[in-house]
Structure 1
Amino acid sequence: MSKIENHKFTIEEAFNDCFYIVPDYQREYVWSDKEVNKLLDDLNNEIESGSASEYFIGTILVSPTQHKKQYDVIDGQQRLTTFFLMLCALKALFKGEPQEAILSNLISTSFTDSDGEISTSLKLNPKYENAEEVITAIIKSGNQPETIKALLNAAGVSQFGALENIINAYTTIYQYLKYNYQETGTLKKYWGNLSNNVVFIQISTDVSSALKIFETINERGVGLNPMDLLKNLLFTNVKLDEFTKLKNEWKKITNPLEENKEKPLRFLRYFLMANYTISNHRSDGIVREDEIYDWFSKKENITASNYQKEPFVFVRKIIKTVSNFLLLTKGKGNDGEDNVYMNNIRKLTGGGFSLHYVILLASYNLPKDLFDHLLKQLETFLFYFMVTRTSTKILERNFSDWADELRAISNSTDYATQKVQLNEFISNRFEKSTISKQPELIDALRRYHFYSLQQYRTRYILAKFTQHVNMAYKGLLSPDNLNDYTNLEIEHILPNTPNQELLNDFILHPDNKDKEYQQYKVKLGNLTLLEKPINIVASRDFFKNKKSQYKMSKYYLTSSLDALNNVGENTSITRINTKLKPFNDEWTAKQIDERQEMLLELAADIWKIEPLQD
């Protein structure tokens, strides 16, 4: 095998020092919004945590070409391409700022070739069909994703498959950064973290050797699994003839985590914080990933966990926690059955946030009705903190402390005592926290738009509004599964891509003076959920022409845009009508603002903290 070199790069170092070529024999760009949003969420959580530690994104496998500092990408092009698109979006958003020039040099660089001519080369250049043209169009588009397709159409370049994926990924990244980091200061902080703290290991060798390394990595994995370090520690405390028994028990931990693609280190952190009182020099009750092994080495923790004297008892405790953890991640309650509130929490938190599992694992042994009530209140608590974009560092510290309280309640044997203590916990922790956050929440919802949070969270919020109104309309008290609502289409009442006639009508309307179409089309008040067939028919028409289609929706929040149904006196229908507002033929900035306020008032009825009643 040829010489193998490896180097640790930050994102800025990598695109400053290297030219990456994605050969045409490589798999094309396949990441969807799901993968892109997951990466954006992970990076955002790292920034919000306030951690200055490095964020490792894995290894990139490359092969040097005949040109200096130019490499063919063998493995890792999905990540590299996504980060390159982030650089393009940041360059557009830093227009006129000093950072724009730095980012420009990370995207493309001019150099003198062997003939003395000045050439410009992309720092990441995909060689599969038309991909380079798409990347070039993205760079030329400046700061408007909408212009990318127009540039490609003018050049006669089709957009489908991988090319469409690239455009969609760029649009997602651009909108995410634009609406979540609107102030230059916050965008600078984001760029600072991305350029300095996001790192990867670049392994470089010839193509045949690189392919062999790639095959070996995928067949065997790399190095020790983090769980193996703990296993080795436990092995020192069992007799030689019990090794096989321990090994078989250990597989009951590692196999389910691996099958469900859960991170062992993250699980271990949550296991420790859920089951033990954490003491450290920071007095924050948190076990970091790089502190896990040290935790097991401390005398007081050896005593608390008792893993040295009873290693099998300790292992079975982990096995049970793994099982509980995986059930929760699948939307199950502590009875192992589908749970409406746990499913809602999954839809709100997505894959980027998981700290709540600490307190859920700590309280897992509560009676089912008490656990379900805790889940319902937790959903509201998390909604407050997600929408107000509270630092995860604060939540992590709180959840570790609260886990101790919930574990004590859960371990009680008297139901009446548990109920009283749980209500006290909810009042002291959830209710007081949300009351203090209420002004922030109102402000955030008043300004909320399509890109305020990740799309799955916006979809969750719209689904909760729609579900609440439908339940009130029918006089139902217990919510059904939110899946029926989150699977609906998000309809922009003021069309997302208007024709020129509609755009001119908006601009010339007196109610829209000094109002930007692009701003109002994404406001929460302009969004509603709609069945796909109706959404297709409604298309991009004027509101006065679309509202008859909205009337056909079985979801009253949407159908009531046209007119309210009046049935009887003081019925469930007339009561919810007092919270809703129909609109005539006009749909201007004024109506959108009015509907946003209407939704704000509904939010107070939907997300509220309540004690468990007798």
Structure 2
Amino acid sequence: MSASSITSQDLSIGQIFQNFYRVPDYQREYVWSESDAKGERGEEVEQFLKDILSEFEQATKDGAPEYFIGTIVVCPGEDSVFDLIDGQQRSTTSFLTLCALRDLLVELGETVPSTLAGQIAAQDTNWQGETRERMRLDLQYEDASGVLVEYGEGRGKNARREGTRSIRNLANAYDTIREFLSVQFPSDANGLRRFHGYFTNKVKLIRIETPNVSRALKIFETINDRGVGLDAMDLLKNLLFMKAKQSDFGKLKDVWKGVTQAIYDAREKPLRFLRYYLLATYDVDAKLQEEDIYDWLTRNEAQTGHGIDPIGFAERLRQSALAYQNYSRGRNPAGGADHGIYNTRLLGGSAVKTHYILLLSGRHLAPDLFERLTRQIEETMFVWLIAGVASKDYERVIVQAARNLRRATDAATFAKFEQEFLVHQKSLNMQMFRNALLRLHTYDLRKFRLRYLLAKLTRHFDVLAYGEAGRESLSHYMEAKNDIEHILAQGADDDAKLEFGEGADSFELIQRLGNLMLIEASLNRVINNRPYSEKIATYPSSQFLLARCQAAPLTIGVNDRITRAIQKLDPASSWDRSAIDRRQQWIADAALEIWGVPSPNPKATSEFEMLIPSPNP
């Protein structure tokens, strides 16, 4: 091969594994068969085998169809070993399939064909005449920890399964392959041999060989242009290696590993993180979609600086990924407790993460300003969610705001941003927010969001009365030992219904927000389905001021803070339809204070567009 030539060959799996390959240490780890958040294995390996089996089953005694599984890109390495630049996932899976076929034949007491054994490992003699046994495939990245040798040597069932991400993924893949083959060819040595014959002779790859790493990386980019085959995260990694000096590969590899590990620990999709990072950090149109990320990066090198300083760009990405990981755990960028972030997770659930764009863009703020930011984000997100603002609408305005937030460097500029965006958005949606609360029922909200609403309401008056010490977190109010009490119970007894009067059997009335209260589960069990006149004897036993004063205000003092807090409450000595109406209106009004929602100011101006809520929360 000349110094500039590129060659390609159409080869079978059997021909591919007549050579030796190594996956360089700067490559990404093996990710096929990675378990998801529920512990379920990925589907790539099983689909790989199903597709091959489908073609295998069409074989006749006269011939069999060929099956193409893609390309691999290699360049010459040391000791007559190819460096595998692209195609690691399918190559590693193919190698594990050969190992599993051999292992199953051994367990059936069958002789392993020498061709199969030679496709897994073979002797190699170097120019000095030294001969050694080596695996056809060697994973050199640190996460692999040499575990592939255990599969190559026939110790797959007892190979390591815990440790790094790659160790777990390789174990999952091997187990999936064994299970698949055992189901398709139960105690069938001839079937296994036929499948091996098809797999190594009729399953084809195109091997592209380049003279050096730089050319191989460029081919990698061309093959996977626009995300075909690989996603933008993989293409970005390749792009950074293309821009880096080969002497910096080791350092870049370590930084990139930190990026991917932080995203993995956050249980986040890499492309969502990358999209949010770009939207938070650069001037990017909110319409940018995941499939457009790589194109955007290649066109905006002047903004990102990844071309002249790939390691610096990767390090900034790593720092943001670490912050993102902390956000996913309800913590601030440094890993400390942050009640605004924690509470936003409670009200939004695991799927609502668009506000992470603002958290990423505000990472530079001083700790006290960042804390103000997170509390305001919590309040604004709740207003949007209750008012029924569509996620695509508030994402658009969040991206617009992130640009301004990046320029907020001190208390004065942050306060300006706070008023013009966060407070302004709450004000714009105040009427829709209040109207939604006035008509809210349990079935209008997911349960975790309803618990958040009642917990926040209950905590607010406890803090007014007793101070914030010991009540900084909302977690105490969200605990399972607290129940959502239906004041008119869902299964009210006859006495309770008689006392309540008209509407006692109304499902709609029972499920209204005005009929709900947070109370300890132990007290809820005591009052159960009893009449209100009997329940009110138990309510004062609650530790929550709102529940204690449900029927009548406590008499404490004249103008102390507890008395002032109690004066804000709206006790009800009796319970009927009008009491539920009145309490729901009181909650809606109290919510404006609790979530800091000001009345619309027609004279207020802001560069941020108004969001148009949908009719229902």
TM over 0.5: yes
Amino acid at match of 2:491: T
Partner of 1:260: 266
Select the residue among 491, 494, 497 that pairs with 2:488: 494
Q: CA deviation at 1:549?
A: 2.1
Partner of 1:359: 358
Distance 2:548 2:182 in 1: 58
Distance 2:593 2:531 in 1: 31
Partner of 1:368: 367
CA 212–365 in structure 1, closer or farther in 2 if over 3 Å, else same: farther
Q: Secondary structure at the match of 2:445?
A: coil
Q: CA deviation at 1:504?
A: 5.3
How many pairs does the alignment contain?
389
Establish whether residue 233 from structure 1 lines up as the match of residue 239 from structure 2: yes
Report which of the two structures shows the higher radius of gyration computed on alpha carbons. Answer: 2
Q: Secondary structure at the match of 2:264?
A: helix
Q: CA deviation at 1:574?
A: 2.3
Partner of 1:592: 580
Select the residue among 276, 279, 283 that pairs with 1:270: 276
Partner of 2:106: none
Mapping of residues 396-415 of structure 1, within 5 Å: 396-410=395-409
Distance 1:320 1:212 in 2: 47
Establish whether residue 294 from structure 1 lines up as the match of residue 286 from structure 2: no
Distance 1:328 1:440 in 2: 29
Distance 1:434 1:303 in 2: 36
Establish whether residue 449 from structure 1 lines up as the match of residue 437 from structure 2: no
Tell me the TM-score normalized by structure 2: 0.58
- The alignment yields a C-alpha RMSD, in angstroms, of 3.2
Distance 2:595 2:489 in 1: 29
Mapping of residues 558-577 of structure 1, within 5 Å: 558-577=547-566
* Greater mean deviation of Cα atoms: 472-481 or 373-382: 472-481
Distance 2:416 2:184 in 1: 60
Partner of 2:328: 329
Establish whether residue 392 from structure 1 lines up as the match of residue 391 from structure 2: yes
Q: Secondary structure at the match of 2:485?
A: strand
Q: Secondary structure at the match of 1:294?
A: helix
CA 315–406 in structure 1, closer or farther in 2 if over 3 Å, else same: same
Partner of 1:540: 529
Amino acid at match of 2:270: P
Amino acid at match of 1:255: Q
Q: Secondary structure at the match of 1:528?
A: strand
Amino acid at match of 1:293: Y
Partner of 1:182: none
Partner of 1:346: 345
Amino acid at match of 1:462: L
CA 292–226 in structure 1, closer or farther in 2 if over 3 Å, else same: closer
Tell me the TM-score normalized by structure 1: 0.59
Identity of aligned residues (%): 30
Q: Secondary structure at the match of 2:407?
A: helix
Partner of 1:551: 540
Distance 1:592 1:311 in 2: 62
1:477-527 Cα offsets, whole Å, 9 max, x none, are: 99611000011221122223345x258537xx6543xx7621111111111
* Greater mean deviation of Cα atoms: 328-337 or 595-604: 328-337
Select the residue among 435, 450, 458 that pairs with 1:466: 458
Q: CA deviation at 1:609?
A: 5.6
Mapping of residues 163-202 of structure 1, within 5 Å: none
Amino acid at match of 1:429: F
Amino acid at match of 1:289: E
Establish whether residue 421 from structure 1 lines up as the match of residue 419 from structure 2: no
CA 510–528 in structure 1, closer or farther in 2 if over 3 Å, else same: closer
Cα pair 2:483 2:519 within 8 Å, conserved: yes
Q: CA deviation at 1:458?
A: 0.8
Cα pair 2:279 2:399 within 8 Å, conserved: yes
Distance 1:349 1:510 in 2: 37
Q: Secondary structure at the match of 2:443?
A: coil
Distance 2:184 2:472 in 1: 51
Cα pair 1:449 1:522 within 8 Å, conserved: yes
Q: CA deviation at 1:530?
A: 1.3
Q: Secondary structure at the match of 1:462?
A: helix
Cα pair 2:458 2:545 within 8 Å, conserved: yes
Q: Secondary structure at the match of 1:491?
A: strand
Distance 2:244 2:543 in 1: 63
Q: CA deviation at 1:358?
A: 0.6
CA 242–270 in structure 1, closer or farther in 2 if over 3 Å, else same: same
CA 530–317 in structure 1, closer or farther in 2 if over 3 Å, else same: same
Distance 1:541 1:489 in 2: 16
CA 553–293 in structure 1, closer or farther in 2 if over 3 Å, else same: same
Distance 1:504 1:398 in 2: 48
Cα pair 1:466 1:555 within 8 Å, conserved: yes
Cα pair 2:496 2:530 within 8 Å, conserved: no
Q: CA deviation at 1:361?
A: 0.7
Partner of 2:507: 518
